[in-house]
Amino acid sequence: MNPGYPNRSISRILKQLMLLMVLMLPAVPTTTQAAVNCELNYPASDVARLFPESDNYKISYFSFARQGGEPLLRKVEARLGSVPALYAPLNVPYTLYEIYKGGKRIGYIHGVNQKGQYGVLEVFVSLDMKGMIKAFYIQRMAGQWVNKFTLPKFGKQFVGLTLRDFELYDPVSGKGSGKVAAMTNPAPLAVTDFYGLQRAVKKNLVLMDEFVYSTQKGKQ
């Protein structure tokens, strides 16, 4: 009798099981359908336009599923003051463009999807290392008033604002004070889209605060 045999037999059967699993692997359901995320259509030229002083960028991703989970999602929703959107589950990957100049990180570009009047709003902001908005960009919006919102005059109203400015104002109810409350709507018919854009930027800044700036503070 070979005393080592039972172990060999177990390992062989385990190998057999693994082989089966590998064979079955392509069949394993991707239980969560890839959710729609928000990315720049032309990152190279978009980054150069939104962050003219940059010479390089890196892409990274964050999501509630990977960090913070359900509790963090609830916290963010509470900070935004409304119910979650139908299509914003835990596994939406958020794309973060980290902006560099001479090897040093000088800021970020980050976009979010927001429900608009006739379709989705894809709204990006570029931010410096302290979380102040440097540029505002609408990548996608539907409706005959789109060109009014994409005018530089409208976008400039966001430049220089920080999360503090948005905390003084509730873009869901339209109540509050400060610079955000003072913004003018260039298309009075497009109320949903006007508030949608403000809400998109607030959501953007809250997400950046939770996933990027607060972790940076933690590291310091």
Partner 1 sequence: MISRFQIASKNLLRKKSRTTLTLIGIMLSSWVLVSLLGFNRGYETALNRDIDNMGYQLMVMAKGCPYEAATMMLQGGAGLRYIEQTMVNSIAARPEVDKVTPILMQAFFDPDKGDGGGIAGYFGIDLATYPGMKPFFRFRQGGWFKNDTAAEAVMGYEAAELEQREVGDMIMVPEKNVPLKVVGILERTGTQDDGTIYVPLKTLQKISAIDKITTIGIKVKKDADITKLENSLYQLPDMQVVSFTQVKQTIMKLISTARMMVLSIAIIALLIAMIGVVNTILMSVMERIQEIGILKTMGAMPIDIFFLVWTETLILCSVGGIAGIGLAIVFARLSDILVRRILPYSPGGELVAIDIRLALLTLAVILGVGLLSGIYPAWKAGRVRPLDSIRSEG
- C-alpha of 58 from chain center: 15
DSSP string, 96-119: EEEEEETTEEEEEEEEEEEE-SSS
Q: Which residues bind partner 1 (CB under 8 A)?
A: 1-2, 5-6, 9-10, 12-14, 16-17, 19-20, 23-24, 26-30, 33, 35-36, 41-42, 85-87, 113-120, 139-144, 146
Q: Which CB atom, from 116 or from 131, has the smaller least distance to partner 1? A: 116
CB of 69 to partner 1, least distance (A): 22
Residue 149 burial (CB < 10 Å; 0-12/13-18/19+)? buried
- 147/215 with CB nearer partner 1: 147
Q: How far is the CB of 25 from partner 1 (least distance, A)?
A: 10
Residue ranges with strand state E in the chain? 56-62, 94-101, 104-115, 120-128, 133-140, 169-170, 175-176
Give 106 or 146: the residue with its C-beta nearer to partner 1: 146
**Of residues 172 and 181, the one with the C-beta less far from partner 1:** 172
SS3 174: coil
CA distance 31 to 52: 41
Rounded to a whole number of angstroms, the minimum distance from the CB of residue 175 to partner 1 is: 24
Q: Could you tell me the smallest distance in angstroms from the CB atom of residue 57 to partner 1?
A: 18
